[in-house]
Structure 1
């Protein structure tokens, strides 16, 4: 008997007393836990998100709608980006201050990992952000593109609209997200630590994460 057979045998034994016609919905799970840890104003929620993002070593910026194009242009210039990947659905006015010399790379289905790795930066919107965990969630809708575009390039700029895209907690986020969408949950730049807690960044995603909190 191999390992697979052993695992399946244990599952069969565990389910031996379960009626064949029983379904998960026949036994609802109690969801009586608190939906969030405390009550916050919109401003407090935004401040907590910024604090937790920074704790994860993301670079947090705040901007008005009028100042956003100049900020995005500056972030790319400070990075020395010669190319930026732009998914479909980004507002046109976000891009008005980009250096004309910066190549604008579209999000294409046939792009390979080496092609994406050659891109200096990627700019996206997001689905929402979670204040208590310092997490930004993308789900592939307008302005976010495919999952791979935020997992390969070394620099990611993500714009979060405040206050409407910021929720307090994971349960609140799950209630707003479509489980059928391809979700990417991002808490700071990609990083890992070995047994001696030596941190290495850029292992399986961007080494640098800029999050812009946009005041609607």
Structure 2
């Protein structure tokens, strides 16, 4: 009996039987009519789907207006018992203006031990994907170095709605630069052992809180991350 490998190769040979030997793969363009998003949604439906999928990954989701963002972040830090908060360069100053926790700057010289001693980190993001409940950070202003969102135990990530929210991964990729340090986050860090017992906080934050912030009716947020 032929092996599985031999059967597969035989099918390939039959499929290529009428292809001229001189023809190369790039000689003919292959149409790839992939779906770019699954269905059509309103802005509110897309945002609701993002919130639902984030929560499904055990992220804690909050919604607020721009004017309420500073107080909300301050409450989240206080509720977590945070005495220190890491703030990346470029994070809009008003976001943490109401916080009583000690601000820690994102410094290249910071050691993993020093970062581990920080209670929380607040960042913006580059884009959020509704269909997968994924946040993508690219190290831009307001996001800081990748490690600051991997070492501290508590991460608050602010997403501007609707401008930073897209339906799907293909639409997100259009906005991202593959040469930048991309960090894809779907919920708090988690893993499981051979018996599928879930353990959170092994490779990153144990708690992920996502704030979906909309512009106030009279205008947009003061600064962009």
Q: TM-score, normalised by structure 1?
A: 0.86
> For the structure 1 residues 196 and 214, does the alpha-carbon distance in structure 2 shift closer, same or farther, using more than 3 Å as the test?
same
The corresponding residue for 2:57 is 56
> For the structure 1 residues 196 and 98, does the alpha-carbon distance in structure 2 shift closer, same or farther, using more than 3 Å as the test?
same
| Counterparts of 2:201 and 2:74, CA distance in 1 | 23
Q: CA RMSD in A?
A: 1.6
> For the structure 1 residues 163 and 111, does the alpha-carbon distance in structure 2 shift closer, same or farther, using more than 3 Å as the test?
same
> For the structure 1 residues 126 and 196, does the alpha-carbon distance in structure 2 shift closer, same or farther, using more than 3 Å as the test?
same
Deviation digits for residues 89-145 of structure 1 (CA, Å, limit 9, x no counterpart): 11111122111xx21000001111111000000000000100000000000001000
> Counterpart of 1:116 in 2: which secondary structure?
helix
| Counterparts of 1:26 and 1:78, CA distance in 2 | 61
The corresponding residue for 2:135 is 136
The corresponding residue for 2:213 is 214
Moved segments of 4+, more than 2 Å: 23-31
The corresponding residue for 2:124 is 125
The corresponding residue for 1:38 is 39
The corresponding residue for 1:189 is 188
| Counterparts of 2:142 and 2:52, CA distance in 1 | 25
Instruction: Give yes or no for the alignment of 1:77 onto 2:78.
Output: yes
Quote the offset at 1:186 in angstroms: 0.2
Quote the offset at 1:195 in angstroms: 2.2
| Structure having the higher Rg | 2
Quote the offset at 1:84 in angstroms: 0.3
Task: Name structure 2 gaps, 5 residues minimum.
Answer: 1-23, 216-225
| Counterparts of 2:86 and 2:26, CA distance in 1 | 43
| Counterparts of 2:97 and 2:65, CA distance in 1 | 15
Task: Name structure 1 gaps, 5 residues minimum.
Answer: 1-22
Question: Alignment length, in residue pairs?
Answer: 192
The corresponding residue for 1:175 is 174
The corresponding residue for 2:18 is none
